[in-house]
Structure 1
């Protein structure tokens, strides 16, 4: 115990001196007034050393409310969400130090198959960061993934295993942050007119980069709202709280005008029905593979049919949905085809190790062709990503990178669906269903966008992983008992 106290004291002095030195440098050399943030930063350090659980809960609440550094410093060559990402980076450091010095982390979490799959996913990502065409960019992307996973998965498992009330509290903190964002976004949107689809792209700023990630995160939250509202063991006023939040989140989803988010919620409803019917996971897997094979077999005919759709995205909800399959004149859809084509061509050039994590946006420009260029394409090709989590993994880390990501998806869905099928505990069933449906919305959205490099999407994503793993371990303990 005395050794731990000495370690904490040493860490406090080291970090304090580093902060003071860094801020003096910024004030004198860079003429930056960031020095005034020093007391806040030291407050965070104190929380990290003495009340880590409070800091962990605080950063979960702050994640949806964090703002990119470039909002304050547009010319900055680096970007991160403030204050969440620096805190997550600090949590990663503390987590590693604790592992090295105390080695008291739950071994059952370490040995869980999902954790092993995450380890393989991160390990391959690290390897391809060293073989990357832009190693520094890729290593930063790897570190970001590592600090998201260390906090929202590994540390979250230790908090979530305390019981249902802790699970609900942690999600309520994130939901509370989202409530503020949704209210501010809708308020801003009303100023331009709620039916103004064009402005929907930027009204979630500065909290969310654009309407697609904003819609994706809202979609991920809806299953949890429904689950907590449906819990019969909770007090009525608690259930009513979540029920009253539901219309706000639905409004946020609708007026995000994110077609992928709408689609993901519809697919999640189908997944809910499948889980209710308790269809075996192996049957689902074979069906999914069969559908993919059929799509590839008849891809040309499907494209010819899609080319007949001329409906552009619109503030008219029906036409906006119809425009999802317009691949001839809808700029957003055609630009997505442009990014996908570039991704596949880039993969052909580097199929084993890929181009390196997070390098796509800097490298795809030469692979663009005239047929897929749109009014929103850039000549330098220096904006955006592959518009697909799956193709993004393929380009970044090669074929094995994609297989690692797909294996991760299969392992978590298998664990979650199996848990739901075998448990007799109503709350375990409720939470496992919510986590699977939340992840299902993101996995569907992943065909059309990729957001796991953004903290506001990555944190609820990995927290859902943590919840399923914790529930699975607890259920296994009951069965063995």
Structure 2
């Protein structure tokens, strides 16, 4: 099992006052409990935990980062109103880690890797964020776009730049995976057990995923992109050790959970990740990406020629099915209501893109405006969209909300990351790093496949690992460069 290497001892400068700090925290906790009882507000109970986290940040800020990854599988979405929601406890921790990183940059700039910041992938990510911020300033709904942009800021700062600072070698990645996999296995076991009590019914899966996962798509996505991580992580462990047995059991649990999540995108993306494995092995990533671009262009060209997209309009046979097998058959026949609803929103998004092609309507604004650009011919009985969900295609969402440049900047970032990962894999001399790289690459391929049908990159359980994987690839690339320039093992 894992051997954690974090130092939890108190900082030397705090040793003389540790007893005073203890009593101060105890008094604060008592006051918070009294205030909560007298004012009937549970929010006061969070105050001692906030102070404790601040104290831990002074002792060893790395613990806060690891704690964040431990809580990611267990986070739950809390709604304060129809338009205001957050993920607890992760979102406050994400903001806290971002603030810690900013303090590090300001107070200890020499500890920050300039090579990481100046890496081409980092520069492409900064360009992507800069355009998001620019389109926010020109947004038709500035308040909505500002919330979206701030969330993007702390996701990038926490999961990309703080990861780049803390997780620089495969050994550190090895330790971190334990902090994620153990709670994720617990959350997955809860869902599977709850779903079993519901006879693994298709309609009941969303009931089983609560409270740890928003819905069956989010649940299936996380389990799917962790399957290659578990496989290659397990291969890096000692054979027949307790750790490897636990990872093997978790792999079986995740695979079964993915199968019973009844999510078509999960099955397709897992197959694509296996195909990507061979693409990476034979150094065909550039050709694969070029082929993907060509396929999209040809498909789009066919749909707009002579208005062929009208053939996709729903008919009286387009219904919401109660069994997963019926959905698969209906998808093949283009008669499934969820697919038809996607057409409804995609066509609205395409029409919106012609209205504001360069800067878009503003980050996060698709839901606000899309219905006035929709075609009634494609409307279904689920088009009221009471859950306020998005366009269900991240690339099209960027086109609508940030214009052509916004979409292209993200595509450049994604494609370069995939090309970089292939290079890192073949240049890695350490077999453990090689396996870790392949796991991260297959994770990115699965997330990218989901982005074609969903907007999951803005959620804490998916977007976090997307930026995390990119940061690790950059550090592995920098390590490989150092090894090429020096015969000595830089891991020492």
TM-score range for the pair, normalised by the shorter chain length: 0.7 to 0.9
Matched, 1:437 2:446: no
Measured after TM superposition, the shift of residue 308 of structure 1 is: 11
User: How far, CA to CA, are the matches of 1:39 and 1:225 in structure 2?
Assistant: 36
User: How far, CA to CA, are the matches of 1:368 and 1:140 in structure 2?
Assistant: 25
Paired residues of 2:61 and 2:100 also in contact (CA < 8 A)? no
**Residue of structure 2 equivalent to 1:286:** 290
Paired residues of 1:361 and 1:382 also in contact (CA < 8 A)? no
User: How far, CA to CA, are the matches of 1:159 and 1:309 in structure 2?
Assistant: 56
Paired residues of 1:121 and 1:404 also in contact (CA < 8 A)? yes
Matched, 1:140 2:155: no
Paired residues of 2:128 and 2:409 also in contact (CA < 8 A)? yes
Q: Kindly report which structure 2 residues correspond to 1:193-212, keeping only aligned pairs within 5 A, or say none.
A: 193-194=199-200, 196-212=201-217
Deviations 1:72-112 (CA, angstroms, capped at 9, x unpaired): x4x47521111110111111122112212221311111111
User: How far, CA to CA, are the matches of 1:305 and 1:85 in structure 2?
Assistant: 39
User: How far, CA to CA, are the matches of 1:311 and 1:402 in structure 2?
Assistant: 31
Paired residues of 2:312 and 2:343 also in contact (CA < 8 A)? no
CA change 1:40–1:383 in 2 (3 A) is same
Deviations 1:163-198 (CA, angstroms, capped at 9, x unpaired): 33321221222222221221121222222220x212
Partner of 2:425, secondary structure, is helix
Structure 2 unaligned regions, length at least 5: 1-11, 487-492
User: How far, CA to CA, are the matches of 2:181 and 2:36 in structure 1?
Assistant: 37
CA change 1:310–1:221 in 2 (3 A) is farther
**Residue of structure 2 equivalent to 1:353:** 359
Match of 1:149 among 147, 156, 163: 156
**Residue of structure 1 equivalent to 2:114:** 107
Matched, 1:342 2:348: yes
Match of 1:158 among 158, 165, 169: 165
Deviations 1:115-138 (CA, angstroms, capped at 9, x unpaired): 101100111111111111221221
User: How far, CA to CA, are the matches of 1:480 and 1:52 in structure 2?
Assistant: 32
Measured after TM superposition, the shift of residue 324 of structure 1 is: 3.2
CA change 1:88–1:28 in 2 (3 A) is same
CA change 1:223–1:372 in 2 (3 A) is same
User: How far, CA to CA, are the matches of 1:27 and 1:200 in structure 2?
Assistant: 36
Paired residues of 1:307 and 1:326 also in contact (CA < 8 A)? no
Measured after TM superposition, the shift of residue 33 of structure 1 is: 2.6
Match of 2:138 among 126, 131, 139: 131
Q: Kindly report which structure 2 residues correspond to 1:340-419, keeping only aligned pairs within 5 A, or say none.
A: 340-378=346-384, 383-419=388-424
Matched, 1:266 2:275: no
CA change 1:437–1:407 in 2 (3 A) is same
User: How far, CA to CA, are the matches of 1:290 and 1:306 in structure 2?
Assistant: 25
Match of 2:89 among 83, 86, 109: 83
**Residue of structure 2 equivalent to 1:221:** 226
User: How far, CA to CA, are the matches of 2:451 and 2:187 in structure 1?
Assistant: 23
Partner of 1:80, secondary structure, is strand
Paired residues of 1:63 and 1:456 also in contact (CA < 8 A)? yes
Measured after TM superposition, the shift of residue 306 of structure 1 is: 11
User: How far, CA to CA, are the matches of 1:313 and 1:266 in structure 2?
Assistant: 26
Matched, 1:56 2:65: yes
**Residue of structure 1 equivalent to 2:7:** none
Matched, 1:118 2:125: yes
User: How far, CA to CA, are the matches of 1:391 and 1:155 in structure 2?
Assistant: 29
Partner of 2:204, secondary structure, is helix
Structure 1 unaligned regions, length at least 5: none
Question: What's the Cα RMSD here?
Answer: 3.0
User: How far, CA to CA, are the matches of 2:286 and 2:180 in structure 1?
Assistant: 34
Q: Kindly report which structure 2 residues correspond to 1:179-258, keeping only aligned pairs within 5 A, or say none.
A: 179-194=185-200, 196-231=201-236, 236-258=241-263
CA change 1:317–1:33 in 2 (3 A) is closer
**Residue of structure 2 equivalent to 1:324:** 331
Paired residues of 2:224 and 2:270 also in contact (CA < 8 A)? yes
Matched, 1:457 2:462: yes
Deviations 1:300-358 (CA, angstroms, capped at 9, x unpaired): 7798699899797767655443433443x311111111111111111111111111111
Measured after TM superposition, the shift of residue 384 of structure 1 is: 0.5
Paired residues of 1:362 and 1:382 also in contact (CA < 8 A)? no
Question: Paired residues, what number?
Answer: 458
Instruction: Provide TM-score, normalisation by structure 2.
Output: 0.85
Paired residues of 2:352 and 2:373 also in contact (CA < 8 A)? yes
CA change 1:306–1:438 in 2 (3 A) is farther
CA change 1:308–1:78 in 2 (3 A) is closer
Paired residues of 1:312 and 1:326 also in contact (CA < 8 A)? no
Measured after TM superposition, the shift of residue 233 of structure 1 is: 6.2
User: How far, CA to CA, are the matches of 1:275 and 1:166 in structure 2?
Assistant: 24
Match of 1:295 among 278, 294, 299: 299
Partner of 1:198, secondary structure, is coil
**Residue of structure 2 equivalent to 1:47:** 56
Deviations 1:46-81 (CA, angstroms, capped at 9, x unpaired): 1223221111101111012112222xx4x4752111
CA change 1:382–1:395 in 2 (3 A) is farther
Match of 1:448 among 448, 453, 464: 453
